[in-house]
Amino acid sequence: MAKMVRDTLDTEYKGSIFGRLAAYMTPYKKQMLLCLVLVLVVTACELVRPVLIGDAIDIYIEGYNEPYCIVENSDLTFQGQSLSRAENCSSYAQILMVDEQYVYFTDLNAEESASLLSLTEEGPVTSAQISALNLSGQVLSQDDLKELRHQDFMGIVKVGLLYMGILMVSLVCSYIQTMTLNQTGQNIIYTVREQLFHHVHSLPLRYFDTHPVGQIVTRITNDVESLNEMYSRILARLFKSTVKIMGLAVVMLVMNVKLALMSFVMVPVITVAIVIFKNLSRKVHRAIRTRISQLNTFLSENISGMRLIQIFANEQMKYEEFSEKTMDLYKANLKQLFVFAVFRPLIYFLSQIALSIVLIGGGLSVIESTLTVGTLYIFINYISNFFEPIQDMAEQFSTLQNAFASAEKIFVVQDEINTITEIENPVKLNEVKGKIEFKNVWFAYEDDNYVLRDVSFVIQPGEKVAFVGATGAGKSSILNLIGRYYDIQKGQILIDDVDLKELSIHEVRKAIGQVQQDVFIFTGDVASNIRLLNEEISDEQIKDASKEVNAAHFIEQMPNQYHEPVSERGSTLSQGQRQLLSFARTLAVDPKILVMDEATANIDTETEQLIQKALETLMDGRTTIMVAHRLSTIQHADNIIVMHKGKIREQGTHQELLKQDGLYKKLYELQLYSENA
């Protein structure tokens, strides 16, 4: 069994993970399309912003280097002259910084203007250089400079306002995209969790025999939640990063092919690093999800069994076992940290190398006057933006690999086949009478280890039948087969002369009321534990059922009576009280077939006497099947079937079996001896 549980933990999904994850987005195609359009708008805004600043630098901030044309009429006038940025005119005006002062030259011809511009390319301009050209100019005051460069200032204001407008558009689009994507992601996660929980409910008991509770809880909670980040954030960010990288590459190539190629020198190296990282990251995340599942399984089992651990003073041993599993998770997380500790700095290092290459190449071009300062700024900004989404992909890959690892675990559960299936058009019984027949039934929980061997018997409607025998004889297995919680390997089981496999599973189980030895109490109140979410059961029916099994005598003594809160597993109730609640729960549905598996095993003698008479009344008219070790509780059964090693050895009434001087009599005498000892 341990090997089987370990195998289920390590099962890997073999299908297309992305295809199945994408299928959940199909009902939200419009929302996803809107998000993609908004991502494109936001990305376009991010691409435009550096261009605005670069143009502002070249056109307005560095604009004093550009000569003015003296024209007849324009919006800019200075000292009675109309000035314009037009080209090819007969007379020019020029601002030049000479010896740390702004000097204004006017009435220049084309050759003189070109000579002044050539001086700026050689470095800081001095008055000696101006004198060598036989030119003179007027030193500008601060007010003169403001008046002369008023249009440049207004141009910068317009660029600033446009920049703010683009920021606002980007902000609004990002807000709408984030809200839409998160809402869509939450809807998808809700659907996944609902489907998974419903599917788990539909699985046969055999699945829960081989899969720890903690593992299943991890699938429905932690693993499903890890998909939330992927749907709500990662997919949009991946799309945005991809579009941004492609957009930047195109714009950079259009602006300056030489600088663009310099920027892309490190791209092949980064691509190789990403491929290696992707493979390592997926393995690490798969290991982490498995370790988390194992840890949750361990915690679920040991917290539930804390009483037993403390009784046997096993705290230290369990602590050491917990430390071992925690250390496994710790080591898996360290591997993840190591992968990212190498990858992220490596990407940053490569991006800085690319930036250095562009600074050197672009700086030389600016010095040679083949590239403007604004264009160099745009490229430096774009390089940071170009490698930023690649770096961002590292984190995105982390979450994405985590989501894929969780998706693998989820899809393995979803692909579990329910072996207990019913035919398309099951036979409908107008009323279940309660006749039960086993015909040469062979049954094994695993492989060919049969716990029932060629078992045959008939229980008539309203008959009370008890099964007795040693532990492992197959008594409880018979009860599980009647409700079709497992399917038999050979033979046939009939309910009201109809093969069990031809009937509706829901109809059969609805007709069966089952009381078990180990009573499970849910967190809630007394009434909810009797009703079990069946709204067809009224409060009056709950009270009547409680009175019939004598549970009302302790319920009505509680402060809130039927609304008294109870904790998980009913720890605030005694074992006898929990058993009485189980009787009331079963009787409230008014079953046609009553199944009791060691139902009175944990009830003290006084409590047993309280319910014995009620049981006789309740069993009247119902087919009743009992499994009991205490033979005193089944002496009045219509038929007692003695099981031994999966076979029927004896059957008859209590008195008939005692006369046979067989296995039943030995069990009876042994029990009498134990009670009198």
By C-alpha distance, which of 98, 110, 99 is closest to 67?
110
Q: Are 492 and 499 in contact (CB under 8 A)?
A: yes
Mean pLDDT score, 479-504: 87
Q: What is the pLDDT of residues 267-278, one digit of tens each?
A: 788 778 777 877
Reply yes or no on whether the pLDDT at 1 is more than 50. no
Can you give the pLDDT at residue 608? 64
* 3-class secondary-structure state, position 451: strand
Tell me the pLDDT band of 27, cut-offs 50, 70 and 90. Answer: confident
Mean pLDDT score, 445-461: 86
Q: Strand pairing of 436-444 and 490-495?
A: antiparallel
Burial classification of residue 38, based on how many CB atoms lie within 10 Å of its CB (0-12 exposed, 13-18 middle, 19 or more buried): buried
Q: Which residues pair with 438 in a beta bridge?
A: 457, 493
Q: Are 256 and 375 in contact (CB under 8 A)?
A: yes
Q: What is the pLDDT of residues 165-196, one digit of tens each?
A: 989 998 998 888 888 888 888 888 888 888 88
Cα–Cα distance, 344 to 325 (Å, whole number): 29
Tell me the pLDDT band of 607, cut-offs 50, 70 and 90. Answer: low
Instruction: Supply the mean pLDDT for the chain.
Output: 79
Reply yes or no on whether the pLDDT at 498 is more than 80. yes
Cα–Cα distance, 268 to 252 (Å, whole number): 17
Mean pLDDT score, 548-570: 78
Higher pLDDT, 579 or 394: 579
Can you give the pLDDT at residue 674? 59
DSSP element (H, E) containing 107: strand 101-108
Q: Would you tell me how many other CB atoms lie within 10 Å of the CB of residue 505?
A: 17
**587: Cβ–Cβ under 8 A, 6 or more apart, which residues?**
513, 545, 548, 549, 618
Reply yes or no on whether the pLDDT at 9 is more than 60. no
pTM of the model: 0.66
Q: Strand pairing of 565-566 and 593-597?
A: unpaired
Can you give the pLDDT at residue 168? 92
* 3-class secondary-structure state, position 71: strand
Question: Going along 405-547, which residue ranges are E strands?
Answer: 436-444, 450-459, 464-469, 490-495, 498-499, 512-516, 524-525
* 3-class secondary-structure state, position 39: helix
Q: 661 in the Ramachandran plot: left (φ > 0), alpha (ψ -120 to 50) or beta? A: left
By C-alpha distance, which of 72, 67, 119, 65 is closest to 88?
67
By C-alpha distance, which of 417, 458, 475 is closest to 645?
475
Q: Strand pairing of 639-644 and 464-469?
A: parallel
DSSP element (H, E) containing 97: strand 92-98
Reading the block at residue 344, the tokens are: 């992220």
Cα–Cα distance, 401 to 410 (Å, whole number): 14
Cα–Cα distance, 90 to 113 (Å, whole number): 11
Q: What is the pLDDT of residues 72-96, one digit of tens each?
A: 887 778 887 888 876 778 888 888 8
Can you give the pLDDT at residue 246? 81
Can you give the pLDDT at residue 2? 43
| Percentage of the chain exceeding pLDDT 90 | 1
Please calculate the CA angle 468-470-473 and round it to the nearest 5 degrees. 80
Can you give the pLDDT at residue 172? 92
Please calculate the CA angle 405-36-254 and round it to the nearest 5 degrees. 110
Q: Are 436 and 481 in contact (CB under 8 A)?
A: no
Mean pLDDT score, 194-210: 82
Mean pLDDT score, 597-625: 68
Tell me the pLDDT band of 673, cut-offs 50, 70 and 90. Answer: low
Cα–Cα distance, 133 to 646 (Å, whole number): 119
Higher pLDDT, 287 or 632: 287
Can you give the pLDDT at residue 3? 44
Q: What is the pLDDT of residues 334-348, one digit of tens each?
A: 887 787 777 777 877
Can you give the pLDDT at residue 429? 80
Cα–Cα distance, 35 to 174 (Å, whole number): 9
Reading the block at residue 259, the tokens are: 């600088």
Higher pLDDT, 70 or 373: 70
Reply yes or no on whether the pLDDT at 626 is more than 80. yes
Mean pLDDT score, 485-499: 88
Burial classification of residue 7, based on how many CB atoms lie within 10 Å of its CB (0-12 exposed, 13-18 middle, 19 or more buried): exposed
Burial classification of residue 121, based on how many CB atoms lie within 10 Å of its CB (0-12 exposed, 13-18 middle, 19 or more buried): exposed
Phi and psi at residue 424, to the nearest 5°: -60, -50
Q: Are 96 and 119 in contact (CB under 8 A)?
A: yes
Reply yes or no on whether the pLDDT at 319 is more than 50. yes
Cα–Cα distance, 649 to 662 (Å, whole number): 9
Q: Are 510 and 436 in contact (CB under 8 A)?
A: no
Domains of the chain: 2-20+195-414 (1.20.1560.10), 432-511+592-677 (3.40.50.300), 523-590 (no CATH)
Q: Are 277 and 344 in contact (CB under 8 A)?
A: no
Cα–Cα distance, 355 to 560 (Å, whole number): 73
Cα–Cα distance, 322 to 306 (Å, whole number): 13
Phi and psi at residue 386, to the nearest 5°: -70, -40
